[in-house]
Structure 1
Amino acid sequence: MDPNIKSVLDSIKGSVEAYGPKIAAIQTQLDAQDRNFASKIFGDSTPPAFVEKLKSHEGFQRLLNDRRGKAVLTLTGKDASDFLSRKTTITETGQGFQTTGVLAIDRDTGITAEARQTLTVRDALTSRPTSFAVVDFVKVTTPMGIASPVPEASVKPENAVVFTSESEKVRTIATWIPASRQILDDFTELASFLQTSLAYYVNLEEELQLLAGDDTGENLHGLIPQASAFQTGLLSLTAGFNRIDIIGRAIEQLTTAKEIPPTFVVMHPADWWSIRLTKDSFGRYLIGDPQATANARLFDLLVIPTTSIPVGVFLVGSGNPAACEIRDRMELQFEVSTEHASYFTSNLCACRAEKRMVLITKRPGSFVTGTFITSPVS
């Protein structure tokens, strides 16, 4: 081919190829204009989502609010195929309530503790602090004799008294529980729960010791082991008696012994309710109207119902410091520490509650204990 002709043809071909992209861009603009024009005339061809249909359906919204009745929905096209193709029923159990589920839960804060009794024995006694590990007290073992009339210018009779000292050692009541640093950090209510729970069980043991400690080892010297035994001879089988009579006779026993007047009586709740429900021959309650809101009292003594004393046992005594008192060496303390074994390297903590105290019973004769099951004289 002639080189001149070939050069002309190549020039024409290059010009045509140069207009190709421009033609394609013009066609794209025309297609977009066609779509916009069709949308304005015929509307959007994309149907609303199925969820949007439910939200806008009056019958369905009424069904959700009233929780009754029915709603008719017409499903067409893709909505019908998607809805009818589901074979698993949507339930709360299937979706899950916990952290791995999709449903939120309403959870109360704090921890519900187990059943716990009210501790009231300490409140009936006098308490004051001490700075020492041992508490001594002096008491009369042989009292003086009574005086006598003396004639004028006569020698007066000599008297005498014998003293003795006794001592009680301060005792420690404590308990502890291990816990990880992570659980204390992540479970924010746990630290407060442990503090109140450990303190409660320390105070519960204190109440048990105040009543029945046998003075062996590190046990306190409790009131019941030191109290005088109830004199069953004060009861009469012929005259008859009940629980109320027994408490009255115990008060009589203390009074005739010239001891400090009692201020309280401790008994099991079952025994107190047996007394509280005692009726006369006309069906009337002896201990007052059940609707009365006064504090529990019997012969003007404060009644302390507590499960820290066995059923059928009672203790009548005085909270006067001349009879007995509590001496506190260290008030209740709650501590958290990693200084135990390998706790520091193991990210563990020791949570401990403890107190140091002692019970000083100066007048054991000012307390009387016995049972409601007695063997009186005929």
Structure 2
Amino acid sequence: MPPKAPTLLEQRDEIIAHLQDPNYDGDFDELIQRADEIKAKIDLAEQRASRLRALQGAVPPGDPQPQPGQQRQQPGAGPDENGNQDPVTVAEAFVRSAALQAFRERGFRGESGAIEFRAAPAGTVTTGTTLPQNTRVPGIIPQNPDFPLLIANLLDRQTSDGTTLEYMRDTSGPQSTWNAAAVVAEGADKPKSGPFTFDLISTSLKTVAHWVPVTRQAADDNSQLMGYINGRLTYGLEYKLDRQILTGNGTTEMQGILTTSGIGTYQPPSGNTDAKLITVRKAKTQGELALYPPDAIVMNPLDWQDIELDTDANGQFRVITTVTDSGAPMRIWGLTVVTSVAMAAGTALLGGYRMGATLWERQGITILMTDSHAELFTANTLVVLAERRANVAVHTPAAFVKITFAALP
């Protein structure tokens, strides 16, 4: 009986052993040629296996029930519910990517699979040997507010082309300190307004990132993979971004609005026990007097609870007329209300968010996958990492008012 021919894996291991042997004295050029041939054969075998899996999972048109040996199309592999081929979430963008497909075809070996999905408007990304230019903000462009789901959506959002952000911060203060405009008699000298003061702020974009381990089986299933990306990774980044916008220290972290010097403050006078909804109204007036009409307020859920449960002498709610309409937009005194545990209880931040600050993003959310981490390779486990780069330009601090509520009696 003729000897059994060595398998592709056996041939591969033999060549690897020769390449690793510093004392190998054979024909090195021939060895390299054999390595290339075996690599090509292994790639072809993996492609055939991948095509076979795809064919077995295909469902014939008009037959909604899977046939024996077939699988239903996995989520993220086809059009969305509106028939659009474009992905609608970061998770769908990742599971539909060519990078992930190629990574799966290699059996999750070798280079990482990666895709970037920009939630912000796409900008120009400079690559190669040319260093990226700093992004200098030319001016302030207010925009109309909308109903946000996150604190980040209260801000004007722009895309940065560089890694360093430079912008002018208006420190002139209230209008009364610089506006000398007046009615002038003919021939008389005109008054001079000012002084106007601006600080040039130079900072870097900050990276927010985290990762989770997933098994190879989970990574090969679109439903589980999308669950990890949407349910854990993306949510975690948005959760952290909201906190950075409010309380980032501006050095090792993003620039937080509450940590920016020059923002207004309002606190009821000592001994005043105004209800929280009255305090908010008075703070709104302070913002309007500074000529930056507020459009939204961020507060802790406990403080919003106190406002919604506030009743008059007859036991009637002051803010809401019916407790059954739980899906109505949260508003008070014409302001959009965003509740977040990122805001400390007993305080709130009211302001003209789109006039006062801009969220600059170098990239949206980037998803990376690899098996090259610590001991996870031997545990048959992969790493899925999500990250984004951004920072906040608080160019008009006077547009914000920090509220400190009086203690309840």
Q: What residue in structure 1 maps to residue 352 of structure 2?
A: 318
Match of 1:132 among 144, 158, 162: 162
Match of 2:250 among 199, 212, 215: 215
Q: What residue in structure 2 maps to residue 204 of structure 1?
A: 239
Aligned partners of 2:155, 2:171: CA distance in 1, in Å?
24
Match of 1:273 among 292, 295, 305: 305
Q: Which amino acid aligns with 1:132?
A: G
Aligned partners of 1:358, 1:305: CA distance in 2, in Å?
22
Identity of aligned residues (%): 24
Aligned partners of 1:313, 1:261: CA distance in 2, in Å?
20
How far did residue 171 of structure 1 move? 0.7
Match of 1:184 among 204, 219, 238: 219
Q: Which amino acid aligns with 1:367?
A: F
- Matched ranges for 1:124-273 at <5 A: 124-142=154-172, 144-157=178-191, 161-185=196-220, 189-196=223-230, 197-217=232-252, 219-226=253-260, 227-233=263-269, 237=272, 241-258=274-291, 260-273=292-305
C-alpha change, 1:272 and 1:150, in structure 2 (3 Å) is: closer
SS in 2 for 1:247: helix
Q: Which amino acid aligns with 1:325?
A: T
Q: Which amino acid aligns with 1:358?
A: N
Q: Which amino acid aligns with 1:125?
A: L
Aligned partners of 1:130, 1:203: CA distance in 2, in Å?
19
Q: What residue in structure 2 maps to residue 16 of structure 1?
A: none
Q: Which amino acid aligns with 2:216?
A: R
C-alpha change, 1:179 and 1:294, in structure 2 (3 Å) is: closer
Q: What residue in structure 1 maps to residue 343 of structure 2?
A: 309
User: Higher mean Cα deviation, 195-204 or 303-312?
Assistant: 303-312
How far did residue 147 of structure 1 move? 3.5
Task: Report which of the two has the higher share of helix.
Answer: 1
C-alpha change, 1:182 and 1:268, in structure 2 (3 Å) is: same
SS in 2 for 1:316: strand
How far did residue 336 of structure 1 move? 0.9
C-alpha change, 1:283 and 1:146, in structure 2 (3 Å) is: same
Deviation string, structure 1 residues 40-93 (Cα, Å, up to 9, x no partner): xxxxxxxxxxxxxxxxxxxxxxxxxxxxxxxxxxxxxxxxxxxxxxxxxxxxxx
Decide whether the 8 Å contact of 1:323 with 1:362 is kept in 2.
Answer: yes
Decide whether the 8 Å contact of 2:267 with 2:406 is kept in 1.
Answer: no
Decide whether the 8 Å contact of 1:176 with 1:351 is kept in 2.
Answer: yes
C-alpha change, 1:159 and 1:363, in structure 2 (3 Å) is: closer
Decide whether the 8 Å contact of 2:353 with 2:400 is kept in 1.
Answer: no
How far did residue 345 of structure 1 move? 6.3
SS in 1 for 2:384: strand
Structure exhibiting the larger radius of gyration computed from Cα positions: 1
- Matched ranges for 1:329-340 at <5 A: 329-340=362-373
Deviation string, structure 1 residues 96-149 (Cα, Å, up to 9, x no partner): xxxxxxxxxxxxx99xxxxxxx96212222212111112212244457551445
- Matched ranges for 1:12-31 at <5 A: none
Q: CA RMSD in A?
A: 3.0
Decide whether the 8 Å contact of 1:119 with 1:306 is kept in 2.
Answer: no
Aligned residues: 254
SS in 2 for 1:255: helix
How far did residue 249 of structure 1 move? 1.3
SS in 1 for 2:161: coil
Compute the TM-score of the two structures, normalised by the length of structure 1: 0.60
Aligned partners of 2:338, 2:193: CA distance in 1, in Å?
42
**Structure 2 residue 321 is the aligned partner of structure 1 residue 289:** yes
C-alpha change, 1:368 and 1:163, in structure 2 (3 Å) is: closer
How far did residue 192 of structure 1 move? 2.1
Q: What residue in structure 2 maps to residue 49 of structure 1?
A: none
SS in 1 for 2:258: helix
Deviation string, structure 1 residues 341-369 (Cα, Å, up to 9, x no partner): 56556643221011111111111121111
Q: Which amino acid aligns with 2:359?
A: I
- Matched ranges for 1:34-49 at <5 A: none
Aligned partners of 1:319, 1:152: CA distance in 2, in Å?
41
Aligned partners of 2:180, 2:158: CA distance in 1, in Å?
35
Q: Which amino acid aligns with 2:163?
A: A
C-alpha change, 1:363 and 1:158, in structure 2 (3 Å) is: closer
Compute the TM-score of the two structures, normalised by the length of structure 2: 0.55
Aligned partners of 2:313, 2:179: CA distance in 1, in Å?
50
SS in 2 for 1:310: coil
Deviation string, structure 1 residues 228-253 (Cα, Å, up to 9, x no partner): 322433x873xx52011110111122
C-alpha change, 1:152 and 1:352, in structure 2 (3 Å) is: same
Q: Which amino acid aligns with 1:362?
A: H
Decide whether the 8 Å contact of 2:216 with 2:380 is kept in 1.
Answer: yes
How far did residue 154 of structure 1 move? 4.9
Unaligned runs of 5+ residues in structure 2 are 1-73, 76-147
SS in 1 for 2:250: coil
SS in 1 for 2:341: coil
SS in 2 for 1:251: helix
Q: Which amino acid aligns with 2:256?
A: G
